[in-house]
Structure 1
């Protein structure tokens, strides 16, 4: 295994700093994910005929996710090698949310589908610059014994970021511009203020400075054979995320087809359901992050979260009952919270020292790539097997949810190869340099 505890953070960091990092996650993911849940679907319905909505949404979401796929490792790689008086991560944190706000304005005023696609591609690239730098900052400063707890907090705050935007979407579903711009403005304010108070020490590197195209392209290149545990965690997260992307991206269309709801009613219910799922996600992330941090063994949380997600997907595959929809939504929210409580902490055990930003950027691709594949494949998957067994018609949403369930179940095939990192090893525990530090650590645990 390539990773050791980061030399920049050999002892515990204040929990207040972790919460500030998580607040950046909250604001940025809130600005990025909210369009995927509601805004993009509503904008597509404004610009294309209803019969073309699945294909148009698939193109927009797929190209945006492709942009995120490229941006995350590139900006993580660049932040590893940035030298400035503001640090190496903070410039990318602020630049990303500013670019995201500009792209969101363009998205709100887009008069046609091509402009909408350009705007969403730019928004994905910008916000993923912030997320890549943030993940690297976490690896820089948070030591091993706090990472599961930090991962749980990050997972919880990521979903909390949708709460204010979903409230706006539920109350003002007819004002699409307001729904699209609330979180981008909030992200700019939050990230800028936090960057004024968090530390981001400069690190002297011989390879800092201007980068050629070939050097930037190297951000995508790694040898899976040299980092097998990292590769398996990447695959695990990608398959798990694929299942949840199906749940979130096509929720509005699912409600319109299966429950016979109109556009406004489906948008409002999608917003409320997302809030309910986010609340359970927060509970699961905090609780499981705390438990995983104490146990140091992440296997039960990975297995349990995948099992719950599979049950949720299969329930939605074969129902047109609103109560079953709510139960499955709750299960999916809790499942993803439990998984996010450990996935970031797990991958940090596999990172090569000195290349944390690059590899965390590549790892984040496992979260963004399914956002490209699921919408791109969905229009073809819903044609499998003929008519929908519940709603009838030519779009088979049961097939879509079954395929997603199989993908999530397949994520568990990675576990045998991850035995060496699922449980915290004694060699991964950071050394305590002094007696006072040891006393402080015991007090914090108590």
Structure 2
């Protein structure tokens, strides 16, 4: 069996085939695993957002300029459906994989190669139909990285270190989230070149993570007989002992929706609610993004280790959700641009802390560590669903009472999410 990361000792190596590690078997933080996760996520998420937010719309404008808005909507909807199914199915297949290279490494390496190849294909197609098909195949390949990679926290990190390792993961996530679009924007003058560069970056994701994490063989893990019970356990939503799991799922869903309710309409809030001109709008969008990025990076680094020291997961997540709610309410009281900066600062602190600790909380509410990738893949749907629900609810609020209604709606969503997290019993 391959060696494991720093901080691991013999007891962890001997029991690694079981797919989990306890506190006694890991006295020191497995920092190598954390670095592998951070680099793995930044190398797939950055290119994905650079393409999705910048290069793909530019490519659509080249192929179908008269219907670009409709085509982008079709691509987004199709991608969401494929990603939803892929998260569950590939997560389950990863849980069941038995190989000398482990359960996760074959999927994240294969997913990186396939994703990189599909980005090249996406950049070369010339019809809307082929663009939709190839984009969906890319989503399928990409999720072969996503679900298995996050499951490594459950496999390789003892409970007492999960806050710290989740923080390291969140740093990579934040860097990819904010840096990907900046990188993509550098290639607007040469979209095909941009696709090629981001494909090359994606290609590194799985191999870099796999080499650093040094996953052991899973050949010694028990094989599961193919029958009805195996299919239900591995390819369906959790059915037993999952109360806290679903509280975490819906709590996360609402908190994410709260943030995207505002970010999805940020431009129109500045122009139509706060009545800013073009130059001022551009300046404030940049400043708000900068505030969100800086606070997210700082809190991503700090919140996880604090959570480990306090041995608390629920409380940091609840406080983070309350900060998002407070930040969301500030622009409600004044249609002034500075209130959006205050929102960016306070909500950014909240979301940075949330991203850092939420993954640790998610791992600790899993009903069964044997199906970690599948169940974490389902939890990841809260991110996708929240990104869709937030703007939809914001649109309803605007239609009913104007732009000012977005802010209390977002605040209420985040507070309900905090209450659901607070109701979790199995995690402190």
TM over 0.5: yes
Cα contact 1:38–1:270 (8 A) shared by 2: no
Q: For residue 94 of structure 2, what is the aligned residue in structure 1?
A: 79
Separation of aligned partners in 2, 1:373 and 1:32: 21
Structure 1 residue corresponding to 2:343, chosen from 308, 319, 328: 328
Per the alignment, do residues 334 and 50 of structure 1 end up closer, same or farther by CA in structure 2, a change over 3 Å counting? farther
1:419 matches 2:428: no
Cα contact 1:103–1:122 (8 A) shared by 2: yes
Separation of aligned partners in 2, 1:286 and 1:185: 28
- 1:276-320, Cα deviation, whole Å (9 max, x unpaired): 422211101111111111001233322221122223334456776
- 1:31-85, Cα deviation, whole Å (9 max, x unpaired): 23344554555556666679984x6544432332222211112111111111223
Q: Report the Cα offset of residue 363 of structure 1.
A: 1.6
Per the alignment, do residues 273 and 238 of structure 1 end up closer, same or farther by CA in structure 2, a change over 3 Å counting? same
Superposed, which structure 2 residues align to 1:182-197 within 5 Å?
182-197=197-212
Deviates more, 1:163-172 or 1:220-229: 163-172
Per the alignment, do residues 161 and 173 of structure 1 end up closer, same or farther by CA in structure 2, a change over 3 Å counting? same
Q: For residue 157 of structure 1, what is the aligned residue in structure 2?
A: 172
- 1:222-270, Cα deviation, whole Å (9 max, x unpaired): 34552111111111111112223334455456566556666x9978975
Deviates more, 1:20-29 or 1:249-258: 249-258
1:355 matches 2:371: yes
1:6 matches 2:23: no
- 1:129-176, Cα deviation, whole Å (9 max, x unpaired): 211111122211110110011111111210112454333345555554
- The root-mean-square deviation of aligned C-alpha atoms, in Å, is 3.7
Per the alignment, do residues 37 and 328 of structure 1 end up closer, same or farther by CA in structure 2, a change over 3 Å counting? farther
Superposed, which structure 2 residues align to 1:335-346 within 5 Å?
335-346=350-361
Per the alignment, do residues 124 and 269 of structure 1 end up closer, same or farther by CA in structure 2, a change over 3 Å counting? farther
Structure 2 residue corresponding to 1:27, chosen from 26, 34, 43: 43
Separation of aligned partners in 1, 2:94 and 2:102: 9
Separation of aligned partners in 1, 2:408 and 2:110: 40
1:354 is paired with a residue whose SS is helix
Cα contact 2:116–2:200 (8 A) shared by 1: yes
Cα contact 2:112–2:206 (8 A) shared by 1: yes
1:384 matches 2:390: no
- 1:76-106, Cα deviation, whole Å (9 max, x unpaired): 1111111223222111111222222233334
Q: Report the Cα offset of residue 325 of structure 1.
A: 2.9
Cα contact 2:168–2:301 (8 A) shared by 1: yes
Separation of aligned partners in 2, 1:267 and 1:113: 31
Greater per-residue helix proportion: 2
